[in-house]
């Protein structure tokens, strides 16, 4: 008998009808002889409704109180699913984050899990009860409710799977797995049967919203086999597992695109030691995440420094950078708001050389100018003009053989 942690997201429990379908799935898995733990999100829209209420009450709601408020959403869904299962004669019981011992630090609204006791889950499993657990929430050492941030229910599921040494953690969502590219942009995109934790992390950080990065990191660290599956259709999903030799046979596993960046260039920066720190220190302090940085070769002791920031933070960043530019006596600040980032990801890059060169060649053949480049061991990203993003993704997807299944 294997132990499986199933997690259902907000759209999967968004209506009473959908809760019935989740109960069907749980009943099936139980019938198949598995021991089960179920983790739920709040009904889709509920967290936003509560946030709206909070902001109607006061401009900047206290974060401890926000956690008290937001943690109610999952309590509603776990109670409803447990009722549904019990109504069918299946022994299930709902448990809050507190009751299953998800102990966190005190960073309200974005708490980090310190430890998981899972005592009541073990008791329940021993009694043949299916625990239905509220995702997204825990308690701190003061016994106050905390929440784990957006997508935190994935983290709850993975943390419980790790604590219970579960055989698998299945994340049911509204897509049926991880794709070689966004199928809305690249129609020939294929679902991947397997992907490594590292690839999944790169894809998540590049904007593929299938899994929250923190939960992938947690799964990788504790070796929890993750599966992403559709809660709406039958069939296989994508397994997220430790990298294996098979994966290295293909150079590139996926192509991803990101429109949420903007580019800032500081022109004519005096090329002195410490100048980069004077720029990026204050930017980091303002909680603006800089993704890529490029510094041109210095000419006549002057250099240009370009970097990308999330488009949502652009206004804040530009104001700050203009002040800094004055202080360091740079010439001027230029902004390109509409850029996009196209990336190739694959653990196979470690053993396949020439991926970057081939990528530049493919883009150049299409007449797409590369503004910035950044690389890691298993990823190459290029910043291009936004209007070329779809073309770049489709062309790269074909050029790296992602249109065909790897067996072919």
Question: Where on the chain is the footprint of a second copy (CB under 8 A)?
Answer: 16, 19-20, 50, 53-54, 56-62, 64-66, 68-69, 71-72, 75-76, 78-80, 82-84, 86-87, 93-94, 96, 99, 143-145
> How many angstroms separate the CA atoms of 36 and 20, rounded?
17
> Is 68 or 276 the residue whose CB approaches a second copy more closely?
68
User: What are the angstrom distances between the C-alpha of 70 and each of 99, 136, 140?
Assistant: 17, 9, 16
Residue 160 C-beta: closest distance to a second copy, Å: 18
> Is 59 or 245 the residue whose CB approaches a second copy more closely?
59
> Is 13 or 372 the residue whose CB approaches a second copy more closely?
13
- Helix 213-222 and helix 152-163: axis angle, to 10°? 10
Residue 78 C-beta: closest distance to a second copy, Å: 7
Taking a C-beta distance cutoff of 8 angstroms, is the pair 36, 161 a contact?
A: no
> Is 83 or 318 the residue whose CB approaches a second copy more closely?
83
Residue 21 C-beta: closest distance to a second copy, Å: 12
- Which ranges of 7-136 would DSSP assign to H, the alpha helix? 16-31, 46-57, 63-70, 72-87, 119-126
Residue 159 C-beta: closest distance to a second copy, Å: 20
288 φ/ψ angles, rounded to the nearest 5 degrees: -100, 125
> Is 142 or 233 the residue whose CB approaches a second copy more closely?
142
Length of the chain: 408
Residue 94 C-beta: closest distance to a second copy, Å: 5
Taking a C-beta distance cutoff of 8 angstroms, is the pair 276, 295 a contact?
A: yes
Dump strand ranges (E) for 155-270: 168-173, 194-196, 226-230, 238-241, 254-258, 261-270
Q: Are strands 226-230 and 102-104 parallel, antiparallel or unpaired?
A: unpaired
Tokens describing residue 104: 């966190």
Tokens describing residue 380: 């190459």
Residue 105 C-beta: closest distance to a second copy, Å: 19
User: What are the angstrom distances between the C-alpha of 68 and each of 63, 81, 239, 347, 358?
Assistant: 9, 21, 34, 42, 52
Residue 90 C-beta: closest distance to a second copy, Å: 11
> Is 79 or 293 the residue whose CB approaches a second copy more closely?
79
Residue 131 C-beta: closest distance to a second copy, Å: 13
Residue 120 C-beta: closest distance to a second copy, Å: 8
> Is 144 or 385 the residue whose CB approaches a second copy more closely?
144
Tokens describing residue 96: 């809050």
Identify which of 252, 249, 258, 253 has the alpha carbon closest to the alpha carbon of residue 238. 253
Identify which of 301, 195, 203, 201 has the alpha carbon closest to the alpha carbon of residue 242. 195
């Amino acid at each position: 008998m294997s132990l499986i942690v199933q997690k259902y997201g907000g759209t999967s429990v968004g209506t009473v009808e959908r809760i019935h379908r989740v109960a069907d799935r749980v009943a099936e898995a139980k019938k198949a002889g598995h021991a089960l733990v179920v983790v739920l999100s709040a009904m889709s829209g509920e967290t936003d409704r509560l946030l709206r209420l909070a902001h109607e009450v006061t401009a900047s709601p206290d974060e401890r109180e926000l956690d008290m408020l937001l943690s109610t959403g999952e309590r509603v869904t776990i109670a409803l699913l447990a009722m549904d299962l019990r109504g069918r004669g299946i022994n299930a019981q709902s448990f809050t984050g507190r009751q299953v011992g998800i102990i966190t630090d005190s960073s309200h609204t974005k708490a980090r899990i310190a430890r998981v006791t899972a005592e009541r889950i073990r008791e329940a499993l021993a009694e043949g009860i299916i625990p239905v657990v509220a995702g997204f929430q825990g308690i701190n050492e003061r016994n106050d409710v905390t929440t784990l941030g957006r997508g935190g229910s994935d983290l709850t599921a993975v943390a419980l799977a790790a604590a219970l040494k579960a055989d698998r953690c299945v994340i049911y969502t509204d897509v049926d797995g991880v794709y070689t590219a966004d199928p809305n942009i690249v129609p020939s995109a294929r679902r991947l049967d397997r992907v490594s934790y590292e690839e999944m992390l790169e894809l998540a950080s590049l904007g593929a919203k299938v899994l929250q990065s923190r939960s992938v990191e947690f799964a990788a660290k504790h070796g929890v086999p993750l599966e992403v599956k559709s809660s709406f259709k039958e069939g296989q999903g994508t397994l997220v597992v430790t990298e294996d030799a098979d994966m290295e046979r293909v150079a590139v596993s996926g192509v991803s695109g990101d429109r949420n960046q903007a580019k800032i260039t500081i022109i004519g920066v005096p090329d002195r030691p410490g100048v980069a720190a004077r720029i990026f220190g204050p930017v980091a302090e303002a909680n603006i995440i800089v993704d890529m940085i490029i510094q041109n070769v210095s000419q006549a002791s002057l250099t240009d420094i370009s970097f990308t920031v999330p488009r949502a933070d652009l206004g804040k960043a530009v104001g700050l950078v203009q002040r800094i530019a004055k202080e360091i006596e740079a010439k001027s600040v230029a902004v390109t708001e509409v850029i996009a980032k196209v990336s190739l990801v694959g653990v196979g890059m470690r053993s396949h050389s020439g991926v970057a060169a081939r990528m530049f060649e493919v883009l150049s053949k299409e007449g797409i100018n590369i503004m910035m480049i950044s690389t890691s061991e298993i990823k190459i990203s290029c910043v291009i003009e936004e209007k070329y993003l779809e073309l770049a993704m489709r062309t790269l997807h074909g050029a790296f053989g992602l249109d065909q299944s790897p067996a072919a």
